[in-house]
Amino acid sequence: MLSKNQQKYLRQLGQKKYRRQHHMFLVQGAKNVLELLQSDHDIDSVFASESFLAQHHQLLGSRLDARHIHQSDEGSLSKVSTLVTNNEVIAVAPMRDVTIQETSWQLALDGVSDPGNLGTLIRLADWYGFSQILLSPNCADPHNPKVISATMGSFTRVSCAIVDLPEYLQQLDKPVYGAFLGGTNVHHVEFAQQGVLVMGSESHGISEAVGQAISERITISGYGGAESLNVAIASGIILDNIKRCSG
Amino acid sequence: MLSKNQQKYLRQLGQKKYRRQHHMFLVQGAKNVLELLQSDHDIDSVFASESFLAQHHQLLGSRLDARHIHQSDEGSLSKVSTLVTNNEVIAVAPMRDVTIQETSWQLALDGVSDPGNLGTLIRLADWYGFSQILLSPNCADPHNPKVISATMGSFTRVSCAIVDLPEYLQQLDKPVYGAFLGGTNVHHVEFAQQGVLVMGSESHGISEAVGQAISERITISGYGGAESLNVAIASGIILDNIKRCSG
């Protein structure tokens, strides 16, 4: 059972305002919570079904004090959860302080506001070995439960730094690649050994202010009728081309 | 206003059983309906708000007899719609009869059961100029409203043929490429001028029966911690590599 206060607290963390206030966020579903437990990410508390607690007894005990582990039933958990299914466990984790990592290659997102897309992009960044994504302030909140769910655990390895992209990109002395319709075909681009890849939102592309900081405009050639590619797919294709050159 | 019979009919078409029975499917949201109206795809009827009807009066009139155009309010439309927002218009379209197209390159999906992924893959196939995708019978129903919505109009240009993949692939005399963990790095594959790309489900990969028909096992190298890539992203990356060789 969850107490009324616990219910209220967990429901609050579904909203950005309260996540900021408490400096905490929700991790829902077994896959994501197990990734969290196996990572070096701090954990505040876990609310789980009897069977989840029994099955992961040891792992939980190694990471949390018993008084932060709460047994509940799936019915009660699904009432406070933002997921439709997969409600055997919810964890609460403290937000991390994020500083910008000056790695040789960086990925920046400008106005990617769909939480599912952002989560999938975090998972993609993890696949390609990025430990950070730079986000413009109008991207989806990286601690939104839908983002966390879509990362499939990659949120534990990839941090999101919210930055003023035009200002940040302007002062860099490495190439800044941006995806535009009508840029150079990505197959003809010789990517440098270091750089930044900037991807814009699906509906509006890269904003004008960010566009002024782009030194190389690139594009993925289409051959059919679709007007555009999903931003996560487009990012995957360009990152694969970058890895072909630099990896 | 929608009559009770119209409400019932539109609600029924949210379900596969009734789509089969009526041989009709739903197209929801302005973007998808406008693509439908501008395509050569047959249309049975349109239910739309006053403002949508006024704005697209001419286009509608060129494609439909007035008695198949029904005015309704967004409130009534959202009650029968499977979408949360974007309910100014719903169209009903007849299913097409699909025969297999023996194009030089073909894309086949084995057990891709998530409707959002299937819709995104149809949009991706359209981008790369495919006019058809082959589906194993256990893929999501290509006429599921979530699939149609995720195609962003590409359903009008890309047909889905449901086939017995092992049987079909075995009798082909061109290379059959399949995405597996541990196959040849896609950057080292010299793709032929014709072939089939087979992608499996995210959870189970390519099934054993289909696997026996694969002549070339390929993989996308990962560099970080994520266990897998989303199937639509992985397909995008491999199709881009195929186009680099053959396009």
Please list the residues that pair with A27 across neighbouring strands: A91
What is the C-alpha to C-alpha distance for residues A145 and B74, in angstroms, rounded to an integer?
Answer: 29
**pLDDT for position B203:** 82
Mark yes or no for CB contact A152/B229 under 8 Å. Answer: no
Taking alpha carbons only, the member of B209, B208, B205, B207 closest to residue B228 is: B205
Is residue B178 a contact partner of residue B206, using CB atoms and an 8 Å limit?
Answer: yes
Residue of A nearest to B158 (CA): A225
> Is B128 within 8 Å of A224 when comparing Cβ atoms?
yes
Burial class (CB in 10 A: 0-12, 13-18, 19+), B188: exposed
Q: Which of B40, B191, B230 to mutate to test the interface with A (most CBs of A within 10 A)?
A: B230
| Cα B43 to Cα A208: distance, rounded to the nearest angstrom | 40
Q: What is the pLDDT of residue B25?
A: 98
The predicted structure's pLDDT at residue B200: 96
Residue A39, Cα to own-chain centre: how many angstroms? 16
Question: Nearest Cβ partner of B220 from A221, A240, A241?
Answer: A240
Task: Please tell me the distance from the alpha carbon of residue A4 to that of residue B1, in angstroms, as a whole number.
Answer: 43
* pLDDT score, position A83: 80
Q: How far apart are CA B118 and CA B114, in angstroms?
A: 6
What is the helix (H) or strand (E) element at residue B79, kind and residue range?
helix B74-80
Maximum pairwise Cα distance, chain A: 60
Interface ipTM = 0.92
Helix (H, G, I), strand (E, B), or coil: what is residue B32?
A: helix
* Residue in A187, A226, A232 closest to B126 by CB: A226
The full DSSP string for A150-214 is: HTTTGGGT-EEEE--HHHHHHT--S-EEEEEEEEEEGGG----SSEEEEEEBTTTBS-HHHHTT-
Determine whether the interchain pair B126/A244 forms a contact, defined as Cβ–Cβ distance below 8 Å: no
Distances (CA, A) of A185 to A178, A240, B41, B89, B191: 12, 14, 32, 37, 19
- Collect all residues of chain B within an 8 Å Cβ-Cβ radius of residue A186: 240
A191 Cβ under 8 Å from any chain B Cβ: no
Q: Which two tokens stand for residue A192?
A: 């440098």
Of all residues in chain A, what percent carry a pLDDT higher than 90? 86
In angstroms, the CA B214 to CA B170 distance is 8
The Cα B245–Cα A128 span in angstroms is 23
Note the pLDDT tens digit of each residue in B70-95: 999 888 899 888 887 778 999 999 99
Instruction: Find, among A220, A218, A199, A195, the residue nearest to A210 by Cα.
Output: A199
Helix (H, G, I), strand (E, B) or coil at A97: coil
Give start and end residues of each alpha helix (H) in chain A: 4-12, 16-22, 30-37, 50-55, 57-63, 74-80, 115-127, 145-150, 165-170, 208-211, 231-246
Answer yes or no: do A230 and B225 touch at CB < 8 A. no
Domain architecture of chain B: domains with CATH:
4-94 (3.30.1330.30), 105-246 (3.40.1280.10)
pLDDT interval class at B20 (50, 70, 90):
very high
Answer whether residue B186 shows pLDDT above 90: yes
* Element holding B4 (H helix, E strand): helix B4-12
Q: In angstroms, rounded to a whole number, what is the distance separating the alpha carbons of residues A31 and A39?
A: 12
**Residue ranges of chain A whose pLDDT lies below 50:** none
Please report residues of A whose CB lies closer than 8 A to that of B32: none
Q: DSSP class of residue A152? A: T
Question: What does the alpha-carbon distance between residue B150 and residue A202 come to, in Å, rounded to a whole number?
Answer: 13
Report the pLDDT value the prediction gives residue A247, as an integer from 0 to 100: 62
Least Cα distance to A152 among A127, A120, A125 occurs for A120
Average model confidence (pLDDT) across chain B: 94
- Residue B230 forms contact with A (CB below 8 Å): yes
Residues of B in contact with A41 (CB under 8 A): none
Q: Taking a C-beta distance cutoff of 8 angstroms, is the pair B196, B174 a contact?
A: yes
Indicate if the pLDDT at residue B202 is higher than 90. Answer: no
> So what's the pLDDT on residue B80?
87
Euclidean distance between CA atoms B26 and B45, whole angstroms: 10
Q: Do B236 and A233 lie within an 8 Å CB cutoff? A: yes
Q: Does B10 touch chain A (CB under 8 A)?
A: no
pLDDT at B247: 62
Query: Cβ atoms within 10 A of the Cβ of B4, count?
Result: 7
Query: Which residues of chain B neighbour A131 with C-beta distances below 8 Å?
Result: 224
Residue A116 corresponds to which tokens in the numbers above? Answer: 């599912």
Closest C-alpha among B179, B200, B181 to residue B109: B200
pLDDT, tens digit, for every residue of A215-224?
A: 999 999 888 8
Provide, rounded to the nearest whole percent, the portion of chain B with pLDDT above 90.
86
| Residues in chain A closer than 8 A to B130 (CB atoms) | 224
Report the residue from B123, B130, B237 with minimal CB separation from A240: B237
Measured between beta carbons, which residues in chain B are less than 8 angstroms from residue A233? 120, 124, 232-233, 236
By three-state DSSP, how is residue A161 classified? strand
